A and B are shown apart, each in its own frame.
Chain A
Amino acid sequence: MELNLEKKEKCSILKIKGDVDLYSSPQVRKQILELVNSKNANLLIDLAEVTYMDSSGVATLVEALQLAYRNKGKLRLYNLGGAIRDVFELSKLDRVFEIYENEQRALEGI
């Protein structure tokens, strides 16, 4: 699993590559929570190259979403592949997250 971070003027963009499971999710959690743990921090997460995500990965994103919300920031997801989108739908969390088609859409209003 790889994490690539890009800092922009009004937000950070994190690209996750590979499997997010019980083994790798602690690393993802550490990085994501750092990025949303300040006032008005906006984080966009590109999931295009995520090949697998289990409930620990989803739970990490839920935790980050709640922290971002408390800090009056935004956490947005985009480029979800079919299998990853299915996990969010099965968890009924597709309605909780702001999910966008692509980076351009996700950047709108940030």
Chain B
Amino acid sequence: MIDIIEIKIPSEARFLKIIRAAVKHICETMGFIEEDVNNITLAVDEACSNIIKHAYCGPTDQPIHITCNLYDDRLEVLLRDFGKKVNIKNIKPRKLDDVRPGGLGVHLIKTVMDIVRYDNSFDQGNQLQLVKYLRK
């Protein structure tokens, strides 16, 4: 069984709070433990921040589509933007022994989610797939 929840926000940082609240609520409803609720919320928030910073690079009126697919055993979040195509080869988590500001978002996403997949095969923009399985 699958439930689908779709949220659309403009590419403006002040709306990230709405996404966090929605994702947190979805995760709690699905029965994720608190640690996973916080981690999934962080990952989706970081992914939206990356879209604002790297795909749209400034304009605050561009669309971000977030689709949450609620399966019995997992949550899948698809984040779609219509901005600059991201070169997947350039998406690398920062080396953690390199203590400097920035570059942490990708590391956090990859650390906390079970599946992280970038798709830039669209005519315009990118899609990021994030999946987290419920603990048995």
Q: Which A residues have a C-beta under 8 Å from some C-beta of B? A: 19, 21-23, 52, 54-56, 58-60, 62-63, 66, 83, 86-87, 90-93, 96
State whether A62 touches B101 (Cβ < 8 A). yes
Q: Is the interface of B mostly helix, strand, loop or mixed?
A: helix
Closest partner residue, chain B, to A18 (CB atom): B17
The residues in B between 14 and 36 inclusive whose CB is less than 8 angstroms from any CB of A are 14, 16-17, 20, 35
Known: A54-B42, A86-B39, A91-B108. A62 touches B49 (CB 8 A): no
A-B contact count (CB 8 A): 60
Closest partner residue, chain A, to B37 (CB atom): A83
State whether A56 touches B49 (Cβ < 8 A). yes
State whether A22 touches B17 (Cβ < 8 A). no
How many angstroms between the C-alpha atoms of A92 and B13 in the bound complex? 26
State whether B20 touches A52 (Cβ < 8 A). yes
State whether A59 touches B52 (Cβ < 8 A). no
The residues in B between 46 and 62 inclusive whose CB is less than 8 angstroms from any CB of A are 46, 49, 52-53
